Amino acid sequence: MPVRQIVAATLGAVLAAVPLAGVPAAAAPALQPALQPALQPALQPALQEVMFVGNNWEGTVDVIRARGDFGRIGRINVVPDRTQRLLEIYLNPIRLAFYLGIQQGPGEGHDQLVDDMYTTPDGTALVASRPSFADVVSVDLATGDIRWRFPVSGFRSDHMAVSPDGRTVAVSASTSNTVHVLDIVTGRQLGSFQAGDKPHENIYTRDGRRLWNMSIGEVNTALDDPSQDWSKGDRRITIADTSTFQVSKVIDMRTRLDAFGRSDLSDAVRPAILTPDESRLYFQVSFFAGLVEYDVAADRITRVKELPLNPATSPDRTTWVNDSRHHGLSISPDGSKLCVAGTMDDYATVVDRATLAQGPLVTASKPYWATVSGDGLSCVISESGADRVSAISFATGQRIASVPVGDHPQRVRVGQVPTGWTAPV
**Residue 77 falls within a domain, yes or no?**
yes
Using DSSP, state whether 165 is helix, strand or coil: coil
Q: How far apart are CA 172 and CA 161, in angstroms?
A: 9
Task: Identify the CA nearest to 196 among candidates 177, 169, 220.
Answer: 177
Where among 10, 27, 44 does a domain terminate?
Answer: 44
Asked if 170 and 221 sit in the same domain, the reply is yes
Asked if pLDDT for residue 4 goes beyond 70, the answer is no
Do 70 and 127 have their domain in common?
A: yes
Note if the pTM is more than 0.95: no
pLDDT at 42 over 70: no
Residue among 193, 105, 227, 118 at smallest CA distance from 163: 118
- Taking alpha carbons only, the member of 71, 150, 112 closest to residue 384 is 112
Range of weakest confidence among 94-103, 221-230, 267-276? 221-230
- 37, 49: one domain: no
The tens digit of pLDDT for each residue in 168-210 reads: 999 999 999 999 999 999 999 999 999 999 999 999 999 999 9
Q: What are phi and psi of 221, to 5 degrees?
A: -105, 170
- 425 found inside a domain: no
Residue 317: what are its φ and ψ, rounded to 5°?
Answer: -65, -25
What is the spatial distance between Cα 367 and Cα 326, in angstroms, rounded to a whole number? 9
Point out the domain boundary residue: 26, 44, 62.
44
Tens digits of per-residue pLDDT, 202-247? 999 999 999 999 999 998 888 888 888 889 999 999 999 999 999 9
Angle at 326 between CA 136 and CA 410, to 5 degrees: 30
Residues 394 and 255 in one domain: yes
Residue 415's closest CA among 59, 2, 136, 124?
124
- What's the CA angle centered on 152, arms 149 and 154, to 5 degrees? 145
- Residue 423 domain-assigned (yes or no): no
Same structural domain for residues 33 and 68?
Answer: no
Residue 195, in any domain of the structure: yes
Residue 19 lies in a domain: yes
Please list, in sequence order, all residues whose beta carbon lies within 8 angstroms of the beta carbon of residue 34, skipping any fewer than 6 positions away.
Answer: none
Q: What is the C-alpha to C-alpha distance for residues 99 and 45, in angstroms, rounded to an integer?
A: 40
Tell me the mean pLDDT in the region 76-85. Answer: 98
In angstroms, rounded to a whole number, what is the distance separating the alpha carbons of residues 366 and 313? 11
Residues 266, 411, single domain; the answer is: yes
Instruction: Please write the tens of the pLDDT for every residue from 136-172.
Output: 999 999 999 999 999 999 999 999 999 999 999 999 9
Q: Are residues 252 and 381 in the same domain?
A: yes
CA neighbor of 265 nearest in space, from 296, 226, 238, 228: 226
User: Which residues constitute the domain of residue 31?
Assistant: 1-44
**173 and 127 in a common domain:** yes
- Our CA dihedral for 369, 373, 377, 379, rounded to 10 degrees, sits at -10
Residues 40 and 188 in one domain: no
Whether 9 maps to a domain, the answer reads yes
Q: How many domains does the chain have?
A: 2
Report the C-alpha gap between 132 and 112 in whole angstroms: 5
Average pLDDT over the chain reads 91
pLDDT of residue 21: 43
Please indicate, yes or no, if residue 123 is contained in any of the structural domains: yes
Residue 82 lies inside a defined structural domain of this protein: yes
Q: Which CATH number does the domain housing residue 170 bear?
A: 2.130.10.10
Residues 275 and 194 occupy one common structural domain:
yes
Same domain flag for 123 and 5: no
**Radius of gyration for the alpha carbons in the chain, expressed in angstroms and rounded:** 23
- Same domain? 119 vs 214: yes
> pLDDT confidence of 299, banded at 50, 70, 90?
very high
